[in-house]
Amino acid sequence: MDKFKAIVVDKLNDQIEYGVKKITMDDLSSGDVVIKVMYSSLNYKDMLAVQNHGGVIRNYPMIPGIDLSGVIVSSADSKFKSGDKVLITGFDLGMSHTGGLSEYVRVSEEWIVKLPENMSCKQAMMLGTAGFTAALAIVKLLDNGMSVSNRPEVLITGSTGGVGSIAVQILSVMGFDNINALVRKDYQVELAKELGANKIVRPEDIKTDGKPLKKSSFDFVIDTVGGYVAAELIPQISYGGSMTMCGNAAGIKLDTTVLPFILRGINLFGIDSVKYPIESRSAIWNRFINDWHIFDNLKYNEVILEEVPQVLDQLKQGRHLGRTIVKVSEKI
């Protein structure tokens, strides 16, 4: 196979360097399935992958990209055949195994999900890891009492980021009418409303001043940032309410007390999309086709491989809104 393009991250003299390079199949990690990548997307973890001490990449050189969609080129497993349209999110992709920001990948068949019928490769990455994570969070809350009929107050943190923006849109199309979007900056307000938020919440609105319990303001919380933001919200969750957690942009420590848990019986659920069982993934992806029709209104930006560094810088600076997908290959 001729050379092809990929984003390659390397560490030289203890400094991270990365950019588009021409590579060969010999530069890819091992696997029993070869996929021509059509689309990938950019996530917070991809930004960390190109930082010194980002904690994502375990060995260099490495191709980042924690998700992808594309077409099977060859497979040693009978489950897949040439021409099948597939997607991958999570596992070790883009961390210890060469990832989706490459025109070709070679992976284990155990990581691959067939695209749902009527979903395109582009649509799959309009959702990507962010959409899959948002879906897991919402399903967890639905399984624990969140219902449109009860008209709960639902709060989404990081509401204009990748996971948060898709979570707002899913809740909106489902018919939830008390969707609270936590935003930090003025320019995020209009986007949050366009996504489907009914109410805007600012950081100063959720401060507890260190009180272990505060007035119940939210029945369910989808938290995408962690740290002090999550700690401020836990004392404000209603009796029997729940919070999901899936990010740490605001920090990895959680400074709270046991009182909301033992006096209000609230639930705190961790959401991990990386190792989610492969046999259960198709059911989640199919909900975007069968139940949650958000593709027509999804906010996204499309770039090519050469434009990836600019977007990752926006993510680092906290200036990135919505989703960015990467068109990796022009044609099958």
Mind spelling out the 3-state secondary structure of 18-85? EEEEEECHHHCCCCCEEEEEEEEEECHHHHHHCCCCCCCCCCCCECCCCEEEEEEEEECCCCCCCCCE
Distances in Å between the alpha carbon of 267 and those of 30, 167, 216, 223, 283? 41, 19, 14, 13, 24
Contact predicate 79/41, CB 8 Å: no
Q: What is the mean pLDDT of residues 256-270?
A: 97
pLDDT at 87 over 70: yes
The structural domains of the chain, ordered by start, are 4-115+299-327 (3.90.180.10), 129-270 (3.40.50.720)
Contact predicate 312/47, CB 8 Å: yes
114-167 confidence digits (pLDDT tens) = 999 999 999 999 999 999 999 999 999 999 999 999 999 999 999 998 899 999
pLDDT for residue 53: 80
Amino acid letter, residue 63: I
pLDDT band with cut points at 50, 70 and 90 for residue 58: confident
pLDDT for residue 125: 97
Q: What is the mean pLDDT of residues 106-113?
A: 96
Sign of the alpha-carbon torsion through 257, 202, 199, 322: negative
Query: What is the pLDDT of the chain when averaged over all its residues?
Result: 93
Contact predicate 294/323, CB 8 Å: no
- Token output for 180: 């609270």
240-254 confidence digits (pLDDT tens) = 999 999 998 889 999
Q: What is the mean pLDDT of residues 44-57?
A: 86
pLDDT at 33 over 90: yes
Say how far apart CA 280 and CA 199 lie, in whole Å. 33
Say how far apart CA 218 and CA 236 lie, in whole Å. 6
Say how far apart CA 166 and CA 287 lie, in whole Å. 13
Secondary structure element (H or E) that encloses residue 251, with its range: none
- Token output for 69: 């969609």
pLDDT band with cut points at 50, 70 and 90 for residue 1: low
Q: What is the mean pLDDT of residues 271-300?
A: 94
pLDDT at 216 over 70: yes
Query: What global pTM score does this model have?
Result: 0.93
pLDDT for residue 332: 67
Say how far apart CA 209 and CA 230 lie, in whole Å. 14
Sign of the alpha-carbon torsion through 230, 231, 235, 240: positive
Contact predicate 62/27, CB 8 Å: no
pLDDT for residue 134: 97
Say how far apart CA 300 and CA 83 lie, in whole Å. 27
Q: What is the mean pLDDT of residues 305-332?
A: 86
Contact predicate 226/250, CB 8 Å: yes
Q: How far apart are the first and last CA of the chain?
A: 15
Instruction: Please count the other Cβ atoms lying within 10 Å of the Cβ belonging to residue 190.
Output: 12
Q: If we measure between CA atoms, which residue out of 43, 29, 49, 40 comes closest to residue 102?
A: 40
Contact predicate 299/127, CB 8 Å: no
pLDDT for residue 54: 78
Rounded to 5°, angle at Cα 295 from 290 and 296: 120
Q: What is the mean pLDDT of residues 202-227?
A: 94
